[in-house]
Amino acid sequence: MGLDVAKTVGAFVLVLVVGIGSLYLLPEVTPMAPMTTETIMMMVLPSMAIFGAIMLAIGVKHGEYRATN
């Protein structure tokens, strides 16, 4: 499967949209501490994006290593 920048960014954004969308649309999991939209957008989204970017960079470097060895 040939991945280019557009497909990689699309897959990355899709994972973020599914994760954030499910948190936003699903009923509250913990009734004692509901997660507000503000919490999702200011805390969860940036942490998901940063973690995803780090994992993407590690995956790209590992792929480069596997391709050369």
Q: What's the CA gap between 12 and 53, in Å, rounded?
A: 8
| 3-state secondary structure (DSSP) of residue 51 | helix
Q: What is the pLDDT of residue 36?
A: 80
Counting Cβ atoms within 10 Å, is residue 55 exposed (0-12), middle (13-18) or buried (19+)? exposed
- pTM across the whole model: 0.78
Domain locations in the chain?
A: 5-68
Q: What is the pLDDT along the chain (69 residues), one digit of tens a residue?
A: 677 889 999 999 999 999 998 888 876 665 666 678 888 889 989 999 999 999 999 999 999 999 998
